[in-house]
Structure 1
């Protein structure tokens, strides 16, 4: 009897142990299959747009920025294929970039503010302060082929980029050789051609870059554009709208030691066109001038950012910018004269 009782207890214990193992294994069999483990449902990856905050020249969270910032990067510039700088800002909120058909200069209006330095325009850190007396806004000259990106900062916080910029800042950055060359390329050359049927003319843009080593490279660009006066929707020729443009750009980057970087750049631009007697005004009753404008921008930027010292972040920028315009009045014929600015 005792033997039978012991055998019954042992059998009951085995049954309990077996049922416990079954209960322990059951959740493992019931676990759902994740999307990553299933070959039929690949994991979904969400890609966010790049966020650039530079309103105060410091990296900060978007919620902490005191001004809205818009960045037009290289991919957007390539997709837009802008013929003028004004084309770049067509979809930028709060920004109006205006150009007159007879003047290659561009003026920027941010939230209704312009003129008298209210909007600061910089090219590789060099302020573009050309001004011609009249009813138009301040003007600047730059070719979109040169640009790597453009940053628009709205509001008075932009004073960090220059005194008086209460309306905002438009900061242009030109291309480096590293933006043009792939990581495994030593040199590259590209050619862009364009033709216009209205105002028959063509555009040629040649860009080349060479990497001497990881510590030295150079990039250059040459643009020539020639256009006749274009026609309006009715087929009538719009007078004074032809132009000739020649622009050259050269930039070299040197890295003499770890953490040190020196960039030297030069931009030379020459425009031959007809302008009105008042900057930016399209009025047909104003005097017309045969104008030759030369813009020169020279920049030198040095940065020191050592990897082993988080407290050192030095950036120094030197620049020289000069714009010279020579104008000869061609209409009305009764008043002929030469003017220089």
Structure 2
């Protein structure tokens, strides 16, 4: 019995050993399958995401631009004085336009028609850039509050003030800000069904015994061509102060001419050509209104010329095309002949500053379904 039991035990052990050897490969195969399944489970979320359609994000553009947008949507401190506001103000000088504009101080000397703009305490030396239809007005003269630009308010359709260094989009050096003037088009003067119109503005002031005449006319040749022009003549004597005393040398004589035409040679194409000529005759001193017998006084003739050309290509049937380019030339020349004191009569000096430049806005395509980059 003992022999039989041992034989059975040995036989059972041998059978188990053989079965173990046979089962080992299958166990290893199952373990490898489990590892592969675990790895597959880990990769499953990424594979599932790749099978889904891509998510379209809004296009993000980081740049300084000169593109028009609503003031409330702009990421800058901007104030805009539009035509309705100008009609309400009825400005007599360029300085009058900014009397209620926060952070902006515009000043003029009694004997100098040029306007100086101060934005948040910064002015002159190119710190504040002034443009007229995109043309930089770079003239300024070192002195006691000397002005920097010449413009007649009757020409202006809109004035925009941009505060701070974001204004560098309009040119280098404008760390204080930008004052951008835009002149009127014929379409701003003519009603939709009018082919021509003429207006006359007359003004008289008793303090200084002066008068102003401003004539504006526009003609629309067709929907594709129009023109507008303006002539201004102003003559004023020296005004009196609150005590009734005459403030010497505060009179002036101004002649200004303005012409602008708009052409649309084809659908989506527009060309604007403009010219502004201004001439000022004044007697300028080192200190406005001073009666000092030794203070130098100059008979000053200042001529300001601005020529602009602007082209845009923006077809209605193609949102990917939005090209604009402009070129300009501005020149300001002030000729001064000394008329006081008598020992220096006839001395002559002049200031002459000219600026030529161009701007190009390169079109950028926007992704379908994303917010526009304009």
1:339 aligns with 2:349: yes
Match of 1:187 among 196, 203, 226: 196
Match of 1:91 among 72, 95, 100: 100
> 2-side partners of 1:61 and 1:256: how far apart?
29
Richer in helix (by share):
2
Match of 1:276 among 281, 285, 288: 285
Deviations 1:82-116 (CA, angstroms, capped at 9, x unpaired): 11000000000000001011010001000000111
Partner of 1:127: 136
Structure 1: which 5+ residue stretches go unaligned? 1-54
Matches within 5 A, 1:277-316: 277=286, 285=292, 286-316=295-325
Q: CA deviation at 1:313?
A: 1.1
Contact persistence 2:275–2:307 (CA under 8 A): yes
Matches within 5 A, 1:36-75: 56-58=65-67, 65-75=74-84
Partner of 2:369: none
The 1:178/1:193 distance shift into structure 2, 3 A limit, reads same
> 2-side partners of 1:93 and 1:126: how far apart?
24
Contact persistence 1:231–1:238 (CA under 8 A): yes
Partner of 1:205: 214
3-state SS, counterpart of residue 334 of structure 1 = helix
What is the aligned length?
285
> 1-side partners of 2:67 and 2:340: how far apart?
51
Q: CA deviation at 1:311?
A: 1.7
Contact persistence 2:114–2:147 (CA under 8 A): no
TM (normalized to structure 2)?
A: 0.73
> 2-side partners of 1:61 and 1:122: how far apart?
20
Structure 2: which 5+ residue stretches go unaligned? 1-63, 352-374
Q: CA deviation at 1:302?
A: 0.4
Matches within 5 A, 1:132-281: 132-136=141-145, 139-277=148-286
> 1-side partners of 2:71 and 2:272: how far apart?
29
The 1:253/1:198 distance shift into structure 2, 3 A limit, reads same
> 1-side partners of 2:234 and 2:343: how far apart?
32
Contact persistence 2:103–2:119 (CA under 8 A): yes
Q: CA deviation at 1:339?
A: 1.1
> 1-side partners of 2:281 and 2:69: how far apart?
44
Q: CA deviation at 1:296?
A: 0.5
Deviations 1:181-226 (CA, angstroms, capped at 9, x unpaired): 0000000000000001000010000000000000000000000000
Q: CA deviation at 1:135?
A: 4.3
Partner of 2:126: 117
Partner of 2:90: 81
Contact persistence 2:225–2:262 (CA under 8 A): yes
> 2-side partners of 1:131 and 1:61: how far apart?
32
> 2-side partners of 1:160 and 1:138: how far apart?
23
> 2-side partners of 1:84 and 1:158: how far apart?
24
> 2-side partners of 1:62 and 1:203: how far apart?
34
Partner of 1:30: none
> 1-side partners of 2:246 and 2:185: how far apart?
40
Pairwise CA RMSD of aligned residues?
1.6
TM (normalized to structure 1)?
A: 0.80
Deviations 1:204-259 (CA, angstroms, capped at 9, x unpaired): 00000000000000000000000001111111110010110000000000000011
